[in-house]
Structure 1
Amino acid sequence: MLVIADVMANSHDAGVAWCFEGLTIRLAQSLGLHLDQPLSTPDSLQRLRKEIWWRIVWQESSLALAFDRPSTLQVQRTIITPGTNELSYNDCMKTICEIGLEIVRERSTRGAGQFTLEDISRFLGALNEMTQEAAPYLKDATLCHTTKARLEYWSLYLHRSYVNAELYRSLLRDRSSSPDDLDAYVRCLSGTITGFLHLQVIAPAVKQSSIFVQRALSSALMLCTMDDLSRTRPV
């Protein structure tokens, strides 16, 4: 079901992809994939169930943001322990999924135009906290000495930039937004494109991923609509 939803998303068939995603979630919940398993459950089975569930959460978060669809999926935010600097790539991506779902859920209940500066600052703060506590190589590209590390760095860079851009886009609808907010929005859009360009050099197959392509293309289109393109960074 996940594969079918992904294929439909790659075909830009938002309606069908969203329907299959909803069906996938219901089936997963009926199997209890979202629940903690008894201690008697083998470790390998627990890991498999959790991995499948988080793949579903990732796809739900990505499709909801991409197609601006509401989500009823409830995922409790992971508590980040300050001062660890040990968050793995998977830990960071889980946090991005959780924040993405919170954003679309609040949009559906209050409307994107009803986001307050306090709401946006809260989400931005959570993303910044995640970044600060991430493993060193996820914060500094010069510390990436393997292909896997470089892929994870630029993938996280792309997705973090995109979610930040979504937040600033909501803020720019407020007439009280400042030029600094516009600059930050442009930087996030440029960051999304930069991440994609680096990824497609490392792994050309990324061009076959609907989520990566959609986020890069939508960011590029938004930059093209900006009044002052001279303020964008070259990418």
Structure 2
Amino acid sequence: MIEEHTNGLLLNRTTMLGERNWRDDDTYKLIFSPSGHAAYRFQKHNMLLSDGEAMLLNPHEIHKQLRHTSEKWIVELKPAFVTEVAEELSGSTVDPMFALVVCKHPLLQQWFSTTHLYWRMAATEKERALWLENSWIQLAMVLLRLVPGSHSNKWNIKGYEPTVHVVLDALKQSYQQDWTLDNMVQLTQLGKYQFSHLFKKETGLSPYSWLQIYRVIQSQKLLRQTDDSILSIAMQVGFKNVSSYHAVFRRIYGQTPGFFRKTITNI
């Protein structure tokens, strides 16, 4: 199934799930794996998706599909449309740059399941077009709220399972702290394995990966608004050394903190 719209494209496939050619799309590209597993290759690393997980690619993010085991959904959104929605929400007129992370949230899963169900019910092409006209805006708003990026130093945690929410809230409040898995588990009534499994099942990330990414997101404000050194900023947000900060920053943004600072201060 492929449906084109003025604001983008919606694709659902159960075929052509094997290795594909390298791509360099000029749109934001949301890849969702409703079930099974998926693997994608980027220039310097691979990313894996499991049941209900997604990732959002920025325009011209060079990538290659390696496999999907059962089904894939792809939504392409035109940059001008996403920027327009971002401007309505926050007043920013700059194209958002999303972090390249695995994301999982009930709202995102609900959007896909509702769209899929209604698609099967829609009787005419006009009805499907009208549905997309409204659902595109909803999806863009969900992505801007739930996927971290340059557009915001917030990461919405509402909607997750209560035990996971408690830990996420604590991490957000004290992200500079030297957290260990033991510290996190103490906030729950679970064992280490149970907690780690539940956290990954709910968010798509390990607890430590989520914390490291959140620290990078928090560092964006310091990069924008201060002249502090990169080393100082890394320490302020909780990294133990600047090399770890650089590594996580480059993995999710494809550039160094210094280049990011130069780009956003010249806008």
Higher helix share: 1
Q: Which structure would you say has the larger Rg?
A: 2
TM-score with structure 2 length normalisation? 0.31
TM-score with structure 1 length normalisation? 0.34
